[in-house]
Amino acid sequence: MRILVADDDVTTRLIVRNILEREGFEVSLAVDGVEALESFRQNPADIVITDFQMPRMDGIQLCRELTAARGSRFLPIIMLTGGQESALLRDSLQAGALEFLNKPVLVDELVARVGAIAAMADMQNTLAANQEETLGEIAVVKHLLERLTSPGLKLMPPCFAMETLQTRRINGDAACYSRGIGGTHFGLLCDATGHGLVAGVSTFPVIEAFHVMASRDIPLESIYQEINAKVSRLLPADRYACLILLRLDPEVGLLRVLNAGMPDLLLLRQNEQDIRTFSSRNYPAGILESPDVIEVEDVAVAPGDRIFACSDGLWDLFGASTLQRTFLRRGTRFPVSEDQAWIRKRLARSLKNAEQHDDLTWALWEVPAPMPLSMELEPASALEAGGPEGLVLQFEMDPRYHSVRDLVPNILGLLGFKGVPTPVLQRLGILLTEALDNAVDHGLLGLDSTLKSRGFEAYESRRKEALSDFKGGMAKCRLGLCYGGEARPDLHHIDIEVADDGPGFDWNTVLQSHDLDRLVPHGRGIPLLMALASNFRFNEAGNKALFTLIC
């Protein structure tokens, strides 16, 4: 440890240096305050001992200059005085001195005082170094969280808002957004247990699993299972992650909510003065290795409805009843951007005179209107420009053992691996999902889509009954990938056939009765297929749909 001694008396300087060097310290000498300050700036000392009275710059002024020069570094200063004048002690303390020694210097007193202060300085420097290292680690984790969440959040539509107001440390909160196949929207709010670096790192497997699976339109149940498996496998037994998973499909007007240990999610209808809450129905991820039951709530929504969710930091700051009253009072009359600014102002005002102890994460979504359907088809010449089929993929599925929502993403993943562009995969995902859903629900199970007008809960209940009574049959799909030939080797179009073993239906009557512009939660499957595909048609029996996707 290095000590700087400043004194215009040569005898005092030499005595102090000899005593301290015998104690193992490295000692530098200065004849006055000016020389001491220059020495400190060139090679900062750990402790400074200075006389009160010196030419050019006295001890009080030197204390002030050293206090300014040290920055945030801990620097104990010992003042050598010839007496105990109260004004001198006061001015020295105000200037930055920590301790005093009377002259002439006594050996035992000098060794004891400097030894105690050296131990204090060593402890302070160690704490400062540890804090600096921790702040550096926190900065890295925050940077990684930003890299993981920011790209998705930038893709949100204007009527969505999601953000996290972080504390100086990390508390395990994260907000993520991802676009699914076919215009669906996925959201994640996560609050990992604990605080600090461990909590921040705990969110990484949650965010990774969410983005990978949501982009493939994997069901919420499967996303939760994957997140739970990762958290259980990677984190200690006492670590877990509370989360909310959202899937919004504006095309059919369906919101799916999986709440696992988070505060209630709020849903406010555009033209109603009532709030529906979605409470936690599942264990936080990482509590159970393999949950027996995973509960997802489905609800029909319409354009203009608002969804609000938050972590417990916001819940604790305002209170559940206050949040619900505020949400209800503001309603849906303001744009989401204005509500976002209003929430930020409320948070800033609430935290103005108090320390923020927990991250504050929240999401406000407004259900957007479905994409308008277009009946413009590709001309016949566009279909003829393609070459022969270069790849054929066929499969059959029994709905008792396989789900369309699980199967389609895997098919798309295979085609993506074979080089099919992402925009094509997105449109193909919509087409396959709609066509296979129609084949299973209406062709094999015989469900009437008008049941959705009574709510998706009623429709899903009837679907489960029909599936339990199902006696057998297959939904079948054939994909033929056609390329441009030697002159144009790129993928040109995909011929698609989706069939079922059901009795078929009177498709002529159905097509004539469809209104493509109506916004109802049923009856949009066939118009959607006709709008996104070319050369759409049925076989005579009505149990096979054929269409083409131009690439």
> Tens of pLDDT along 227-252?
999 998 888 878 899 999 999 998 78
Looking at residue 521, its pLDDT comes to: 41
For the cut 50, the answer to whether the pLDDT of residue 374 exceeds it is: no
For the cut 50, the answer to whether the pLDDT of residue 516 exceeds it is: no
For the cut 90, the answer to whether the pLDDT of residue 381 exceeds it is: no
**How large is the angle between the packed helices 107-154 and 196-214, nearest 10 degrees?**
10
| pTM score, whole prediction | 0.59
Separation of alpha carbons 484 and 494, rounded Å: 11
> Tens of pLDDT along 95-147?
888 888 888 888 888 899 888 888 888 888 777 777 776 666 667 767 777 87
> Tens of pLDDT along 292-328?
899 999 999 999 999 999 988 777 777 777 777 777 7
Q: Is residue 340 a contact partner of residue 161, using CB atoms and an 8 Å limit? A: yes
In the 8-state DSSP scheme, what is residue 334?
Answer: S
Average pLDDT over residues 204-215: 86
Sign of CA dihedral 62, 67, 70, 75: positive
The domains found in the chain, sorted by start residue, are 2-130 (3.40.50.2300), 155-366 (3.60.40.10), 380-550 (3.30.565.10)
What pairs with residue 395 in β-bridges?
A: 477
> Tens of pLDDT along 406-426?
788 788 888 888 888 877 887
For the cut 50, the answer to whether the pLDDT of residue 170 exceeds it is: yes
* Nearest-10 Cα torsion for 374, 378, 379, 382: 170
User: What DSSP letter does each residue of 117-141 carry, written as one string?
Assistant: HHHHHHHHHHHHHHHHHHHHHHHHH
One-letter amino acid at 27 equals V
Percentage of the chain exceeding pLDDT 90: 30
Q: Which helix (H) or strand (E) holds 215?
A: none
> Tens of pLDDT along 330-341?
888 888 999 888
Total length of the chain: 551
Looking at residue 452, its pLDDT comes to: 62
List Cα–Cα distances, 410 to 180, 246, 281, 474, 479, in angstroms.
14, 21, 29, 18, 14
**How large is the angle between the packed helices 422-437 and 404-417, nearest 10 degrees?**
150
Separation of alpha carbons 361 and 177, rounded Å: 13
In the 8-state DSSP scheme, what is residue 454?
Answer: G
pLDDT band at 510; cut points 50, 70, 90:
low
Looking at residue 160, its pLDDT comes to: 95
Average pLDDT over residues 143-159: 83
Average pLDDT over residues 434-452: 86
> Tens of pLDDT along 386-407?
667 888 999 999 999 988 877 8
**Could you tell me which residues come within 8 angstroms of residue 308 by beta carbon, excluding any fewer than 6 positions away?**
265, 266, 268, 323, 327, 362, 363, 364
Separation of alpha carbons 164 and 185, rounded Å: 19
Separation of alpha carbons 240 and 199, rounded Å: 9
